[in-house]
Amino acid sequence: MDFDTYAKMGGYAMNVWGSYGLGILGYGALLAHALWRYERLRRREKTLDRQ
């Protein structure tokens, strides 16, 4: 199967790629936010410790 045929997903590209795109975006954003918040709080803790 060539790439074009595969990418079209039998005519359901919007549904299949849309689902996985939203899934990666949603779950990825949640993880990124969790890590960002933790790092931000840890930096603040270190700053307060130094003071």
CB of 19 to another protein, least distance (A): 4
Query: Which spans of this chain sit near another protein (rule: CB under 8 A)?
Result: 9-12, 14-16, 18-20, 22-23, 26-27, 30-31, 34-35, 37-38, 41-42, 44-45, 48
Query: For residue 31, which phi and psi values (nearest 5 degrees)?
Result: -65, -45
Which residue blocks in 1-51 are alpha helix, DSSP H? Answer: 3-8, 13-50
CB of 44 to another protein, least distance (A): 6
CB of 8 to another protein, least distance (A): 9
Separation CA 34–CA 40 (nearest Å): 10
